[in-house]
Structure 1
Amino acid sequence: MRVLLVGFSEDRFSPEQRAAILGAAEGLEVVFTRERAEITARLEDIEVAVGSFPRDLMKRAPRLRWFQQWGAGADWLLKHPELVAKDFVLTNVSGIHAVPISEHIFAYLLAFARGLPKALRDQAARRWPTDRGAFFELQGQTMLLLGTGAIGARTAQLAQAFGMRVVGVRRNPDRPVAHVDEMVALSDLHAALPEADAVVLTLPLTRDTRHVITEGELRRMKGSAHLVNIGRGGLVDEGALVRALQEGWIAGAGLDVFEEEPLPESSPLWELENVIITPHTSGDTPHYDARALAIFLENLRRYRAGEPLTHVVDKALGY
């Protein structure tokens, strides 16, 4: 049999969504399961998979031709070079996070601008402060945006709506992006950092982007600047960031991702009043599954019709 492994329990989807999967999978036996034993039992027949698929089993699946992951980031390939070499197409759901993550980025920036971290601490203590704190406006500020894909593009759109100037950083700066005022190459990052009021990281984690922000970059930022990382924790040298926040090299940071997750209780980041921590939730939305399923169903149609798939990941590059 030619098997489509749907790596979710059946109750993850509505009856209408399950029917849509079954209808689009004509010619394939559809197996809904996350159970390792059940996946192992059908491993010889799995041709297409979506959702959860243990990496060690994926490596051993002889007939696998296409895997649709349910997330955007493919940095897991860094730990599985044997799957980079394996002959199958990898697709993701890049783009579906643009709305929630761009809004999450501005939740951080607006919270810092309007002094909300201090206000929430005062509220919890039932304290009316005599020190009103420092406030600032986003209008007129410069955002340095590392990563100008779907998330970065919508972030730039929101930034311009707030009256910010947007400088984008990408591998090929000759390709324009709507709502980005100026584009620079990653090699020009050091020259761009001193002008930025907000440095926002939406990059994927690859060998080239690991620790793109280290002590050298942090020391070039304004003392009044804020760093936002919603990409991957490995983009930032976390030890250097802790020192930067403790010693006032930068004003603060909004962090959704970390080098180790869950963030250990021993991390100094928990104690810093100039940090907002969220537990890798920037992409969460009640519309997630519907948006991801739409991409998968269109790709399933294309696969059965012999057409090129969308959202294909270059496994060698990792995105």
Structure 2
Amino acid sequence: MKIVVYDRLEDDLQQMIQKAADGYTVVFPESEEALRETGFDAEIFYGFCHERIFQFLPSLKWIQSSSAGMDNHLYPALRDSKVLLTNAAGLYGSHVADQGFALLLGLTRGIQHFVRNQDQKVWGGSKSPMVEIGGLTIGIVGMGGIGQYMASRAKGFDMYVISVDAYRDDRPNLVDELMSIEQLPDLMCRSDVVMIACPLTDETRGLINAENLDQMKPTAYLINVARGPIVDEVALVDVLQQRKIAGAGLDVTEMEPLSEESPLWELDNVILTPHAAGGSQHRPRRTVEFFCQNLKKYFNKKPLENLVDKRLGF
């Protein structure tokens, strides 16, 4: 059996995988060319197996993705194959939630304006109202691992938490109200903050559309740290330009990298970060430790954790 690890890892993490491999061959190709040469007989793959390289791995039986989101993995060849796919869901929640609240606080405390003033050596105030988030209602779209971390942080700020989710009806303790996805319009009109935490699937693509955006309060903020195509970007730009909502914090956009021609760059009620929410000093070790635990299950023919339903997309 051969295991391919296609990710840049420190030596101690490579050694952790080799130890967990229990004597099986582990290779760490550092380029796509090296991967093609060493991966043709690999049974297990760790990392991001994009469509271009999948065709060079005919012996694969299991892919452990180092990512939580699966939208870029579910190309037809993999989706229609018998290859098992597991993801890193639950390992990203804390720092993705941190990014969501960093964007929110940047908007509510006018940080983007102060940073621009700092660049110009200007001691001046914010162009937008300073908003205290305690007591506000946050609406979280999607109550999986990331959504639950968002709820935890929201409670730390003394916010009222409502959420919609398409697949669960058990309300987590930190959520005040859990509603069905059909009640999304209710969430949009009640929330002072709408924070998106759902995966990108056929059902969620364009979920936050012009009609839903028009239902938001003029004082409300939209935060997206999930996937860009969940939001109709043209409609979002329109409500931001017309000041129909207070602002948006976006770690993701419909097309990435964001085009230089996008009007989002010029809007003073927007904070943009370049799909950076997944970054954390703890991320590599967490994902490798999880992979090693799943390796043991695989060797012992036990069910794998975080097995993805390739038809549903998560």
Computed over aligned residues only, the root mean square deviation of the Cα atoms, in angstroms, reads: 1.7
Offset at 1:52?
4.0
Partner of 1:170: 165
1:1-319 to 2 correspondences below 5 Å: 2-9=1-8, 12-14=9-11, 16-78=12-74, 80-129=75-124, 133-319=128-314
Q: Structure 2: which amino acid aligns with 1:6?
A: V
Distance 1:284 1:130, change over 3 A: closer
TM-score, L = length of structure 2:
0.95
Q: Structure 2: which amino acid aligns with 1:123?
A: Q
Residue 72 of structure 2 aligns to a residue in which SS? helix
Q: Distance in 1 between matches of 2:51 and 2:62?
A: 14
Residues 98-149 of structure 1 show CA distances to partners (whole Å, capped at 9, x for unaligned) of 2211111111222222221222222222223377741121111100000111
Residues 62-100 of structure 1 show CA distances to partners (whole Å, capped at 9, x for unaligned) of 32110011111100145x122111001101111111221
Structure with the higher helix share, 1 or 2: 1
- Note the residue ranges of structure 2 that are not aligned, 5 or more in a row: none
Q: Distance in 1 between matches of 2:142 and 2:173?
A: 13
Q: Structure 2: which amino acid aligns with 1:309?
A: L
- Note the residue ranges of structure 1 that are not aligned, 5 or more in a row: none
Residue 76 of structure 1 aligns to a residue in which SS? coil
Distance 1:173 1:18, change over 3 A: closer
Offset at 1:216?
0.5
Distance 1:27 1:99, change over 3 A: same
CA contact (8 A) 1:91 1:311 kept: yes
Structure 1, 115-124 or 228-237: larger mean CA deviation: 115-124
Q: Distance in 2 between matches of 1:56 and 1:112?
A: 39
Q: Distance in 1 between matches of 2:30 and 2:156?
A: 43
Q: Distance in 1 between matches of 2:48 and 2:128?
A: 47
CA contact (8 A) 2:247 2:269 kept: yes
Structure 1, 110-119 or 196-205: larger mean CA deviation: 110-119
Structure 1 runs (4+) deviating above 6 angstroms are none
CA contact (8 A) 1:34 1:53 kept: no
Residue 50 of structure 1 aligns to a residue in which SS? strand
Q: Distance in 2 between matches of 1:42 and 1:290?
A: 24
Offset at 1:53?
3.3
Q: Structure 1: which amino acid aligns with 2:106?
A: A
Q: Distance in 2 between matches of 1:128 and 1:5?
A: 54
Residue 43 of structure 2 aligns to a residue in which SS? strand
Q: Distance in 2 between matches of 1:313 and 1:201?
A: 21
Q: Distance in 1 between matches of 2:218 and 2:226?
A: 23
CA contact (8 A) 1:43 1:57 kept: no
Q: Structure 2: which amino acid aligns with 1:272?
A: L
